[in-house]
Structure 1
Amino acid sequence: MNPVKILIVDDELPARQRMAMLLSDIQDVCPTTVVGDAGSAQAAMVFLETCTPDIILLDVQMPGTTGIELAQQLAATKAGVSPAIIFVSAYDEYAIKAFDVHAMDYLLKPVRAGRLAEAIARIVERQPRHLQAASLVVQVQKKQHFSVLERGRILLVPVVEVLFLKAEQKYVTLHTRQREYLIEDSLTSIEEEFSDLFVRAHRNALIRKSAIKGVERSSHIHDAHGEHEKVTEAWQIIVDGSHERLPVSRRQWPLIKALVR
């Protein structure tokens, strides 16, 4: 089986060497081979005339042509066969521009081995036709953080800190003990990826199983046909670490009840 072909582009030699070392450290879970490295965008373009890697690990800030500009050039000259790009930078303020040029991921220096393996594995998942031609198999590691784009920067919220998630209009609100965040992931995709950690309370909410402190009955009084008041009862989840109560749908009640027991 052929490993993922990687081109490292960074104007600093120590940064290129460290990236190559990280790739070597994750070989067991993420087989890769460094097919080349370049100290500038111009050198990268020369290399790409004779070789097409699967992924480019691309620094954002470089003298002359920047990483963003190089990505734009590749999109214009290599339509349909352009390598996937993972931007690497010491600064988070370029993240929005990076994703505007269709970057697959954005890593902050110093890059951690686990985060690098996760980024490469996601590309393998998302672009199977492009990478299966290389008879590639990568052991996909479940992500450990949710990526939150907030005020021009990317925040990483550990999955283990999330108490529950709620769908509100076109966004999903992620709640921790400290605060809440807006993310663009769908509840369905989160439920599928983390079915071992989260359970659906009702169609608009997921709760971490270990954050279920208990359940309690709630009563709701409403006007029935304008003639008399009607009282209905339902169950709510008591969330450990939050004052908010999550209603439980009738459909999900048997599952929640079993977890509480």
Structure 2
Amino acid sequence: MKIRSIVVDDEPLALEMVCKFVEKTGFLQLEARFDSALEALAYINSHEVDLMFLDIQMPDLTGMELARVLEGRKGQISPKVIFTTAYNQFAIEGYKVDALDYLLKPFSYEEFLTASQKALRHFETAASQASTATDDYIFLKVEYQLVKVLLKDIVLVEGYKDYVKVHLSGKNAPLLSLTTLKAMEEMLPQRQFMRVHRSYIISLEHIQSISKSTVNMGIVTITVGEGYKESFLQFINKWIQ
């Protein structure tokens, strides 16, 4: 597996060092380098990028702002982020944008490799889960085991920071899995599932009723989030006149 990577840092020496680290790592492929987050954003909008090594303190658009912009895109898979910064006060914010890791400058190649291996495990797991999704089931990490879940049984997925609740038809209690809602969104096939709120992914098969701003899943009625209304209205347009 080759992870398509870019490096973004406005400090020339830091940019050069991280690029060398990427080139030194066999499973990473350096696609581009940028000293501007705005230039990186333009590149990401027109190229496929898996992973971004991203500085935080930059002019015009900070790395944290870029991460938030990418996270807010609807219907597009955004690159995962490993922050590289000299400021440790951004660690909590990095967690909020689902960053894979947080490297505090100056860092060694060994520290860089540890973070990159975390990214490799993430993409290997995602690839494995995506392949099982084509067989109408996925495996979810529940406590200390992997549980097989049929896609047709998933009613909705509810996000809670670092874990999700997967509500299943015919089951009183949801499954709790240590993953993020964003990871679930990337894993589940779009032909069967739709994200309608920052905290909810729903199964189209299990919708009970819909309006222009809500969707009733039987166990809960969800108000469609502002950022998801356009895609949701496109979906229901053929049903509501």
Q: What is the TM-score normalised by the length of structure 1? A: 0.46
Q: Name whichever structure is richer in strand by fraction.
A: 1
Q: Name whichever structure is richer in helix by fraction.
A: 2
